[in-house]
Amino acid sequence: MKLSNKIKDVKQQFDKELSNINSLVDLEQIKNKFLSRKGSVSLLFSDLANLEPSDRPNAGNQLNNLKDEISEAIQCKLKSLGDSSDVLSKNSIDLTLPAKKNNFGSQHPLSIVISTIESIFTKIGFSIAYGPEIDTDFYNFEALNIPKHHPARDMQDTFYLDDGNVLRTHTSNSQIHYMLNNKPPIRIIAPGRVYRNEDISVRSYCLFHQIEGLYVDSHVTFADLKSVLNYFARELFGNDVKTRFRPSYFPFTEPSAEMDVYWGLNSESDVRITKGTGWLEILGCGMVDPEVFKNVNYNNEDVSGYAFGVGIERIAMLLYGIEDIREFYRGDIRFTGQFK
């Protein structure tokens, strides 16, 4: 076989073997195979003695070129494997270490409380309704029997927009929207954000969440209201919870009441938040005022109903022991990540 053919065969064999090299150890072996003193290229140099003197210079150049090409190819492969080795060493995995935990998302505590309360009421036949956060004076005040001179209409308490509309101050506006578009019997809860022009502090914020409840039918009594709210308290705080109803005043209900739960006096915090009584107010409620029924074109002689409103932030702070309402709105994942 001619020397030129042998050179071609050696080059083809080298290229083929180099393409399958994936480690520095294998690369060192192929280097020895082709470039060592007894390697394939060195053996080809010994064949120069068998050539005619006139053919030796050309054949020698070919062999030198082959040696250079193989050497260069090995250096390139070495660099490639070296870079991969560096990356691997920098990102190597220690199999003796515990596995990293996946950082799953979490629900916001307010979302958890809202979902819980929705579940409690939908189990006894309430449906969920929604109302607009920007509303007219009629839906937010007038239809709810809140007169022109009422303090709630003052700009110090309500956010007014340039067009005369307001950011709703309660979810009670959802009652009016729903009753104007539906006839009794009605049994709904209406969750959502509400807005008050209040100073931001540990206990107050310029926006918060409420869930409004409304039940309208014939022969609805205050006893029905108490029964449903006592069921709600047991579902939320446990079967041993103690409740009481205190007379109160709301423009859109008559009679009106506030519902308290007995929180206890087991710590300084309990004494502070209950003002030393052990009792804690969790919601306002009452029988729907006849004036409200007139404003939605219901016949007072045919229907009666009750309504109640629950502050979500207040419930969440009680359930989770949160002492600063501002924590809900800071967007700190160290805080929200605690709730799964």
User: In this structure, are strands 304-311 and 279-288 parallel, antiparallel, or unpaired?
Assistant: antiparallel
Q: How far apart are CA 133 and CA 332, in angstroms?
A: 25
What does the pLDDT look like over 87-96, one tens digit per residue? 444 555 666 7
Q: What is the CA radius of gyration of the chain?
A: 41
The overall average pLDDT reported for the chain is 88
What does the pLDDT look like over 28-86, one tens digit per residue? 888 888 888 878 888 877 777 777 777 778 877 887 888 888 888 888 888 887 655 45
Nearest to 175 by CA among 302, 291, 316: 291
Going from N- to C-terminal start, the domains of the chain cover 3-90, 109-336
This prediction has a pTM of: 0.68
> Using an 8 Å Cβ cutoff, are 328 and 206 in contact?
no
Would you state the structure tokens that stand for residue 83, as one six-digit string? 């870079």
Nearest to 257 by CA among 216, 287, 224, 223: 287
Handedness of CA 280, 284, 287, 291 (dihedral sign): positive
Q: What is the pLDDT of residue 174?
A: 96
> Using an 8 Å Cβ cutoff, are 77 and 19 in contact?
no
270 by DSSP, 3-state: which?
Answer: helix
Per-residue pLDDT of the chain (340 residues; tens, 9 = 90+): 677 777 788 888 888 888 888 888 888 888 888 888 878 888 877 777 777 777 778 877 887 888 888 888 888 888 887 655 454 445 556 667 787 777 778 889 999 999 999 999 999 999 999 999 999 999 999 999 988 887 767 756 889 999 989 999 999 999 999 999 999 999 999 999 999 988 888 888 899 999 999 999 999 999 999 999 999 999 999 999 999 999 999 999 999 999 999 988 888 878 888 888 999 899 999 999 999 999 999 998 999 999 999 999 999 988 998 888 999 999 888 898 888 7
Q: Which fold has domain 109-336?
A: BirA Bifunctional Protein; domain 2 (3.30.930)
> Using an 8 Å Cβ cutoff, are 257 and 272 in contact?
no
Q: What is the pLDDT of residue 87?
A: 44
Cα angle 220-224-232, degrees, rounded to a multiple of 5: 140
Handedness of CA 265, 267, 268, 274 (dihedral sign): negative
Residues 6+ apart with CB under 8 A from 10: 34, 40, 41, 44, 66
Would you state the structure tokens that stand for residue 154, as one six-digit string? 């003052």
